[in-house]
Each structure stands twice: as structure tokens, then as C-alpha cells.
């Protein structure tokens, strides 16, 4: 399997996560100091605490996605290790974050790090942990996944616009598909009826191989898509 990663963007975003996290700690510290030593500046201390909290959320998001190893893209690499050289995996080097192109088709790989039971109840996805852990992770460090099917549709539309812009005709463009992949070892996925294929990371490679046997795309389609992406 060929892997094409935008290392420059990954390093840049990792630094953004580091700087925003440090900045949030400084601003929160200033806000706390003002609140204890200068009660008459209460409004300023509250503003500093709010800004510091918002920056901390940005730092957590960037840190989880780009600053912590193994990153989501590294976990996807591990999950798909062993696929043939007919496959190319693009990380942050295409219009979407993670894209797999090969005999199985064109697949948006959308990673999530939710822990506990991940359930599709017929209308939406839910991550159930229970108690304090659930409430804590909703606020800190865990991505929102209310309607990932809509997110997948928006990403697919973005990719279609890119292909059209790079002169890939409708006949040359294979269907753009999506898979929701849960990367945490503690995730238990129960979403057989989901409108978008939803699975644990360990199920991803067998799923892709099955798709390649059931509905393969042609070598010409693969070459056309890769040519457009690498333009």
C-alpha cells in the first residue's frame, strides 16, 4: 500500500496544538490570579477564564488529532497494513482528511476515538460510557459525532467538486463511499443498520478486501482518480 501524507501540515497543526494549550494555561492562570487578588476586576477575570477555556478546547482538538502518537492517520495505516500496492492512502494530501483509493473503490475513512459502546439506534449514533467518564469525555477530548452520515456526505461532495475541477468526467469517476471507523481499543461498535458502514478499526481491512471482491473498480478508474489527486 502506498501512503501519501502531508507531513508539513501535520507538524504545523501539532505546533498549533502545543502553543494554544500553553497559551490557554497562561490565560487561565492570569484569570485566576485576577479573580483572587483584584475582585474589582471581576469582569476581566471572567473574560480571561472564558478565553482560556476556549483555547484549551482548541489545544485538545489539535493535540488529539495531530500531536499525540499514534495519531488517527497512523492508526488507519496500522489498520490497513498489508493491502497491496494497488491501494493508495492519502492523509491530509487530498480535499478530504483520509482517503483510500484502490480496487475496493474510493473510500473516505472517517476516524473517531469514542470509547465504550457505539450504537446506531435507527436515527443517530450514540457513544455510551456512563457516569462521570461519559460527561467528562463529552467536554474534553472527544469529537462530536451527532450526524457523521451528513459529515460523510459533505466530504463526498467536496471531493466530487475537486474531481470535476480537475477534468475527471462522470464516466471516469467511481462512486465515492465512506466508512466510519472507531479507533479506540475500548470501543464496541453496534451499528449494523447504519446508513454509512460503521466499524471498529480491526474490521476495516477485512471490510475493504471484501468490497474489492464484491464490487471492484477498474484499473483505469484507479489511475484516473490517482492522477487527479496527485495533480
Q: Which of 162, 185, 189 is nearest to 173 (CA)?
A: 162
> Are 9 and 91 spatial neighbours (Cβ–Cβ below 8 Å)?
no
Q: Band the pLDDT of 133: cuts 50, 70, 90.
A: very low
pLDDT in tens, 57-91: 898 888 888 888 899 999 999 999 999 999 999 99
pLDDT in the model for residue 119: 86
Q: Which of 63, 65, 176, 147 is nearest to 111 (CA)?
A: 65
pLDDT in tens, 54-66: 999 898 888 888 8
What rounded mean pLDDT belongs to the chain?
88
pLDDT in tens, 39-48: 888 899 899 9
pLDDT in tens, 165-204: 988 877 778 999 999 999 988 888 888 888 999 999 999 9
> Are 54 and 1 spatial neighbours (Cβ–Cβ below 8 Å)?
no
pLDDT in the model for residue 144: 60
Overall average pLDDT of the 6-30 stretch: 92
Separation CA 57–CA 53 (nearest Å):
6
Separation CA 26–CA 87 (nearest Å):
46
Amino acid at each position: 500500500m502506498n501512503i501519501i501524507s502531508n507531513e508539513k501540515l501535520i507538524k504545523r497543526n501539532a505546533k498549533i496544538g502545543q502553543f494554544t494549550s500553553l497559551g490557554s494555561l497562561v490565560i487561565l492562570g492570569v484569570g485566576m490570579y485576577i479573580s483572587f487578588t483584584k475582585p474589582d476586576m471581576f469582569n476581566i477575570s471572567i473574560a480571561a477564564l472564558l478565553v482560556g477555556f476556549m483555547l484549551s478546547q482548541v489545544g485538545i482538538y489539535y493535540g488529539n488529532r495531530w500531536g499525540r502518537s499514534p495519531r488517527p492517520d497512523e492508526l488507519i495505516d496500522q489498520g490497513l497494513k498489508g493491502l497491496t500496492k494497488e491501494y493508495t492512502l492519502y492523509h491530509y494530501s487530498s480535499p478530504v482528511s483520509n482517503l483510500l483509493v484502490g480496487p475496493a473503490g474510493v473510500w473516505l475513512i472517517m476516524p473517531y476515538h469514542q470509547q465504550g459502546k457505539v450504537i446506531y439506534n435507527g436515527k443517530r449514533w450514540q457513544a455510551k460510557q456512563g457516569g462521570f467518564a461519559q460527561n467528562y469525555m463529552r467536554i474534553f477530548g472527544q469529537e462530536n459525532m451527532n450526524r457523521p452520515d451528513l459529515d460523510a456526505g459533505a466530504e463526498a461532495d467536496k471531493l466530487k467538486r475537486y474531481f470535476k475541477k480537475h477534468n475527471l468526467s462522470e464516466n471516469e469517476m467511481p462512486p465515492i463511499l465512506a466508512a466510519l471507523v472507531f479507533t479506540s481499543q475500548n470501543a464496541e461498535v453496534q451499528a449494523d443498520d447504519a446508513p454509512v458502514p460503521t466499524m471498529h478499526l480491526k474490521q476495516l481491512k477485512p471490510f475493504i478486501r471484501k468490497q474489492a471482491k464484491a464490487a471492484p473498480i477498474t484499473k483505469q478508474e484507479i489511475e484516473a482518480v490517482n492522477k487527479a489527486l496527485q495533480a
